[in-house]
Structure 1
Amino acid sequence: MAQVETSQTRELFSSRLGFILAAAGAAVGLGNIWGFPTQAASNGGGAFLLVYLIMIFVVAYPMLVVEMAIGRHGQANPVDSMRSLTVNPLGKRVGSIVGWIGLSVPSAVLAFYSIVGGWIICFMFGGISELFGFASAADWFKGFSVARNLFGTLVFYVLTILIVQGGVKQGIEKWSTRLMPALFVLFGLLFVYIMTQAGAVEGLKHYLVPDFEKVFDRKLILAAMGQGFFSLTIGGCSMLIYGSYLSKKENLPKMAMNVTLVDTAVAFIAGLVVMPAMFVAMQKGVQIYAEDGSLLSSDTLVFTVLPLMFDSLGMLGQIFSIVFFALLTIAALTSSISMLECSVSLVGERFNTKRTPTSWVLGSLIAAFSIVIVFNFNSMFGLVAMVATQYLQPIAALLFCLFGGWVWSRHSKLQELEQGYPEFSLGWFGRVWPVYVKFVCPLLVATVIWASFG
């Protein structure tokens, strides 16, 4: 009975566009703007882009449909949504465990992600300080100190909590529909500006023209598969929780496709901006590639190479530096709000707590873990990031896939997708998808996990 009450009183997205921008915002994060161009630069540019686009639709999209469908079917938090897939008592217990493992992903990711979000905010403040001639403040914001990292992390958490406490319509949807269009506008401005610089066209060619000899490289294929997978936050619970706020009247596969297209567009455009920018920086004497062709400082590309390029362009470069880090802040926030929402929805539904205090208490608990990481940065940051993204998230995705493919009955699955799309089972996707998520997807996810252990 509680299940019915939950679904009846559950807040839903008020518009299709609101859902698409919020879900795409959850997927669009630093993985698209920081990770994707770095991966492309490390793996042959155009060849990586081509394989990545194929992998998004072959691996990530079918799994996105599973995750959103589980959420919409359960109309609840990840733990209760997993439990709703079966009537078997043992199956429900296992479903709870899978839900809890899934729920650990956004919390673990947020713990290190917020620190990077804090760096970005500090770089933006640093650019503003520089523009107004506050040199010592700019140096502090752009330096790497415990105090500065702590400040940035806390500011990032406050912004995240303020949006989440507003709820689905007044918080997540309202801000996603403002922040996502701003992201595209800022990208457009940056692209036009960078393309006027010497060396940019060469970078664009490197990004868009594939070297077909590299397309079948095993390392490149696995990197593209992993990137596609993380790009759409498969296994990260965000899509499951946003799916639970989606009306049953909506065509779920179409919604999932729209989210995939917006997310992929952001990654593609990020490459259009970052790759030419790298070549502009090289033209100005910044070393990007080592002698063996590997990318130098791939982890800090966004924080080293691009600021050096902006610095070399005078005052206009400073303005665009602020624009760039504002853009990154937007991308980071649209993801972090979905991460915090996962645990807020669970506590709110299980204990009937009010959203505002729940958001602050849970946000503060995860923030406390982030503060521990800040004070033990060298030993903890890389470890937490690796455990969360290379192990926890793919394992959660595999479990979601196995549970959605094998435990959730075919009839119930199809019934869920036929709501809002009655002819789903008649099309080729409806015929192939149930088998595909049962056999092919788990195999592909297991390959990504195997590659990360290798």
Structure 2
Amino acid sequence: MRDSFRTRLGFILAAAGSAVGLGNIWGFPTQVANHGGAAFLMVYLVVVVILAIPALYTELSIGHQAQANPVAALGKLAQRPHRVGAGLGKSVGLLNVGGAVLMLSFYHIIAGWMLAHALGSLALAMQWPEAHLALTTSSLWRDLVFVAVFLVGTGTIVVRGVSNGIEVWSRRLMPLLVVLLVVLIGYIAMQPGAGAGFARYLQPSFAGFSDPNLVVAAMGQAFFSLSIGLGGMMIYGSYLDRNANIGQLAVSVAALDTLIAFLAGLLIIPALYVAMGQGMQVSENGQLIGEAQLIFNVLPELFERMGAAGPWLGFFFFMLLSIAALTSTISLAEVPIAYLLESRQHSRRRATTLVIAVIAVFALALVIWFVPLFAWTVAYVTKFQLPLSGLFYFIVLGWLWSRSNKLKEKAREQWRFRLLFWHLRLVCPLLLLWVFVDVAFAG
């Protein structure tokens, strides 16, 4: 008997945890700041409705109907015409399994950096400067140790299964993540200069709507923010009860993910303006600094300037990022684990051990040959595999999946479902293709 989620809330927290990752906390805020502030936010909310929620609904529906891992699910539902679709579906499913392993290899490295910086901030708070320096300075031993620590954390949760592992820990970690976000927002809001950051983030600027890259940037962020394209949501959908309302669940997960991304903006953008008020360099070529430079240079320096409270602020901030990373790794790890469980008949313990071992090997290669491999691996997964897999999911739902396609059946009876079906069949693939072309070839 397949494992499953015990409660609706448990699924929502686990799926939102899968979606909420480092991109929400460092990617979304700087996208907002660099694409017109509130103008981006407004367009983003529209795009969530017209592209991100349909994409999430599509991936969840495929897993829910097939009740299987991505290889079996896509092979089963993409059987038209003849066996060509089934073979293509299985091939994309295998790419999902491989892509999940690749993403987990570099994600665990980044997650290890976050955990190391959290403990480094704690060491500074405890007045252990040597430990602080060792933990926050890049080195081979540090990266290997913390990748191993994070791999153990991921493996310890997923080996316990869906209901006793992923669901239980998602119910613990997600509320903690939100509490940490709110506490950090409250502290930053009291610092000089934060008001200008809130204004940049929340006050609409009509000039921002003239940005030619605004819409495609919002579509890219909305799609990638919900962790679509590697089978994580598909396998979660397969663990749902047969009577689950996929549409309502997709909206709930997207709403929680969007809320957390919005809260991250309330933290990061004001923090950048606080740093600017202290004379720190927070922009390059008219754009606010984002991603790795923001996380590992600007904000740590800002925390160090905040006196005795600074190291504790840094500790809570990097723990927030570590939790966000962990909620994502446990969902992605379930993709190859479910494949080994169902297609290779391994026990969960053996499947978990094999998957963690393979991820460790790939992560070790990325750490040792960081310069030639790391950026290429990240680009391949995020710029190519995610959007192309997501595009294939739309094709499966709209064109290849005929038997037991509930949306298609409802579309024959009611015009509103007919509109939704054609939106998923034509509009969403074209929008996603636009994102892919822009990100892969122009970005």
Give TM class, smaller chain. Answer: over 0.9
1:356 aligns with one of 336, 349, 359: 349
Q: Residue 317 of structure 1 aligns with which residue? A: 310
CA–CA distance in 1 between the matches of 2:78 and 2:368? 44
Q: Does 1:261 align with 2:248?
A: no
2:75 aligns with one of 83, 104, 108: 83
Q: Does 1:442 align with 2:435?
A: no
Question: Any idea what the Cα deviations from partners look like across 1:263-311, whole Å, max 9, x if unmatched?
Answer: 0001000000111011011111111013x41234643211111111111
Q: Does 1:140 align with 2:134?
A: yes
Amino acid across the alignment from 1:16: R
1:433 aligns with one of 407, 420, 443: 420
Rate the CA distance shift 1:86–1:390 in 2: closer, same or farther, 3 A.
closer
Q: Does 1:168 align with 2:166?
A: no
Q: Does 1:181 align with 2:168?
A: no
1:24 aligns with one of 16, 22, 31: 16
* Offset, 1:407: 0.3
* Offset, 1:441: 0.9
Contact 1:73/1:416 (<8 A) preserved: no
CA–CA distance in 1 between the matches of 2:427 and 2:157? 38
Rate the CA distance shift 1:241–1:425 in 2: closer, same or farther, 3 A.
farther
Contact 1:160/1:333 (<8 A) preserved: yes
Amino acid across the alignment from 1:136: E
Rate the CA distance shift 1:298–1:326 in 2: closer, same or farther, 3 A.
closer
* Offset, 1:378: 1.6
CA–CA distance in 2 between the matches of 1:219 and 1:155? 40
* Offset, 1:393: 0.9
**Structural mapping, 1:27-426, within 5 Å:** 27-87=19-79, 88-290=82-284, 292-296=285-289, 298-409=291-402, 412-414=404-406, 426=414
CA–CA distance in 2 between the matches of 1:39 and 1:326? 23
CA–CA distance in 2 between the matches of 1:45 and 1:342? 36
CA–CA distance in 1 between the matches of 2:296 and 2:279? 17
Secondary structure of the corresponding residue to residue 215 of structure 1 = helix
Amino acid across the alignment from 2:281: Q
Amino acid across the alignment from 1:182: L
Secondary structure of the corresponding residue to residue 233 of structure 1 = coil
* Offset, 1:107: 1.7
Contact 1:105/1:237 (<8 A) preserved: no
Contact 2:71/2:92 (<8 A) preserved: yes
Rate the CA distance shift 1:176–1:417 in 2: closer, same or farther, 3 A.
farther
CA–CA distance in 2 between the matches of 1:252 and 1:222? 27
Q: Which runs of 5+ in 2 are unaligned?
A: none
Q: Residue 4 of structure 1 aligns with which residue? A: none
Question: Any idea what the Cα deviations from partners look like across 1:84-138, whole Å, max 9, x if unmatched?
Answer: 2155322211211121223232222111111110100000110111111211111
Amino acid across the alignment from 1:221: V
Secondary structure of the corresponding residue to residue 93 of structure 1 = helix
Amino acid across the alignment from 1:387: Y
* Offset, 1:425: 6.2
Q: Residue 451 of structure 1 aligns with which residue? A: 438
Amino acid across the alignment from 1:245: Y
CA–CA distance in 2 between the matches of 1:58 and 1:318? 42
Rate the CA distance shift 1:425–1:32 in 2: closer, same or farther, 3 A.
farther
Secondary structure of the corresponding residue to residue 309 of structure 1 = helix
Amino acid across the alignment from 1:53: L
CA–CA distance in 2 between the matches of 1:232 and 1:425? 31
CA–CA distance in 2 between the matches of 1:12 and 1:216? 47
CA–CA distance in 2 between the matches of 1:356 and 1:23? 23
Identical pairs, percent: 40
CA–CA distance in 2 between the matches of 1:219 and 1:111? 31
CA–CA distance in 2 between the matches of 1:300 and 1:170? 37
Amino acid across the alignment from 1:449: F
Q: Residue 5 of structure 1 aligns with which residue? A: none
- CA RMSD of superposed structures (Å): 1.7
Secondary structure of the corresponding residue to residue 209 of structure 2 = coil
Question: Any idea what the Cα deviations from partners look like across 1:398-450, whole Å, max 9, x if unmatched?
Answer: 111112211012x63226997xxxx996473x232211111011101110111
Question: Any idea what the Cα deviations from partners look like across 1:54-112, whole Å, max 9, x if unmatched?
Answer: 11111111111110000001100001011221553222112111212232322221111
Amino acid across the alignment from 1:193: Y
CA–CA distance in 1 between the matches of 2:3 and 2:209? 45
TM-score, length-scaled by structure 2: 0.96
